[in-house]
Structure 1
């Protein structure tokens, strides 16, 4: 195994240690090969990461070995890395490609981002729903996501769907950054209860896994201040090197599997289809929630 190599990226010199170390054994994917994939994905990862608090998960010896979460910027962090403090944590900000590569060299295989930004803490930029299966049946997740979109459209909202990179789907609804997490939680809770009442055979909001049976878990609780979710186009530390991949709604067809979207397939997909997540990153018409909140206020009386 070579000791390392040095790269120059956007004026920053970064030393890559142990570039031949295998991070994804089933693909024989080395750290160096994975970093090359990641640099190609940087233009798609960085727009949503802008000014958001970053939590990483590190696997220093590959996905079959031990891992740990890292929120605080490491003490050996270069002075050109941007950081921001929230409470007792000094977060790294995923501001540019050199930062992405520096983190990749630390074997940060997953990048999880906050729902709010450093410049406007406590104010989410989207409503986000995390849909997870209780059994291995992705078709049930697809059905739940499509039902969620129908319900959103009844509220005159719409969103962008992406794979979690693991077993679920996540829906992002771009909103005006004018509401608190408490306000978005009211709407999310209302939507969750509506979906459960409509399809109690399929959907649950039961938090305890052993009480869900085969139902799909509609997680509206993850969307909250201080919490995070896997970034679009981040890899996941799983066999196959899957990528959390934005989809078009038309792609949610029976037989779709999140395992199809990996670091090795994502580049061709982006070249052919572009980036569906631009509807979130560059939304010119984020939704106002005033009418829905007023309706909920009226229902409460």
Structure 2
């Protein structure tokens, strides 16, 4: 028996497209009964701000064939048979290998991704026209055990101040979970490693000012009850859930741009969901509508990086799947670091 299938009419720059959706009644979020069809309607409703934030760039698709409680896998390159309105771009990875990656340029392509059981969209920080040079500096404020969203919200304004001192304008969004993502638009004049060093420089400056609240320690055993400033999210091919992307978590939360005024007033990130975000956009608009209006430069942060290197603060660890990088410290958990062997004792006469 043929599986159930419907057709959705999706507006786009070249007119309406008809996009097929199989198994539309498959439940993706069991706790709320949100189906594949409802997710497709959601991405159509938020298509304009979603594409402004995530379109025209490489994107990895986190796919869930059986709902969020089932198997998940990541898809980067377009599968065979992808429609002509789903684009691709050749990307170079840290290993040196190259292969094409999906690029979404219109709402129909996003609905196609939902048809492919995508729940979470992970965009690169660079555009398809120049995949090597990011247009965003990103810092992930990641609560550690004993801390929560409120702790991340308390330190985010101090990070904004640090970035402002470096000539950058900070925007923020919820992660869709417990954290906060801070984005600064930047001119695409430096490649990923330089941007990573700029992120480390800003993070170290914030750590100096708030040592009891934030940390740049890569090893979890050294972080304590502080907000981890995840500098490794600035690496090539390292991504976070894009703006207006759902998350595969109970409640169908959405990674949602918010204003600094909203953050100061107190927000509950769990309140931004697949079912509430379209009305939020209708009521207040997109807080990130002007994110790319005036990109800054990372020159000052790179000067801070060089200052810290001269002071003895060098490279920090890379993720374990990366090749060994120049100047990188040993990738060994501090508690497992090899202790110097004891000097041999002379034998008794």
Partner of 1:145: 156
Between the aligned partners of 2:280 and 2:109, the Cα distance in structure 1 is: 25
Structure 2 unaligned regions, length at least 5: 93-97, 311-349
Residues 291, 28 of structure 1: CA spacing in aligned structure 2 closer, same or farther, 3 A cutoff? Answer: closer
Q: Which of 43, 50, 61 is 2:48 aligned to?
A: 43
Q: How many residues align?
A: 299
Match of 1:288 in 2: 297
Tell me, in whole angstroms, the C-alpha distance in 2 between the residues paired with 1:296 and 1:18: 51
For 2:313, the equivalent position in structure 1 comes to none
Task: Give the Cα–Cα distance (whole angstroms) in 1 for the partners of residues 220 and 306 of structure 2.
Answer: 32
Aligned twin of 2:211: 200
The alignment partner of 1:173 has SS state of strand
- How far apart, in 2, do the equivalents of 1:114 and 1:239 lie? 25
Change in CA separation of 1:194 and 1:82 when aligned onto 2, cut-off 3 Å: same
Asked if the contact 2:58–2:123 (Cα under 8 Å) also holds between the matched residues in 1, the reply is yes
Match of 2:116 among 101, 106, 109: 106
Alpha-carbon distance in 1 for matches of 2:289, 2:270: 23
Q: In structure 2, what is the Cα distance between the partners aligned to 1:275 and 1:255?
A: 18
Find the counterpart in structure 2 of residue 32 from structure 1: 37
Tell me the distance in 2 between the aligned counterparts of 1:150 and 1:290.
17
Distance in 1 separating the partners of 2:239 and 2:110 = 18
| Match runs of 1:247-266 below 5 Å | 247-253=258-264, 255-266=266-277
* Partner Cα distance (1:147, 1:189) in 2: 15
Task: Select the structure with the greater relative contact order (CA < 8 A; seq sep ≥ 6).
Answer: 1
Report SS of the residue matched to 1:83: strand
Distance 1:198 1:298, change over 3 A: closer
Contact persistence 2:85–2:108 (CA under 8 A): no
Aligned to 1:64: 69
Please list every run of 5 or more consecutive structure 1 residues that lacks an aligned counterpart in the other structure.
Answer: none
CA RMSD of the aligned region, Å? 2.0
In 1, Cα distance between equivalents of 2:191 and 2:3: 50
Instruction: Find the structure with the greater CA-based Rg.
Output: 2
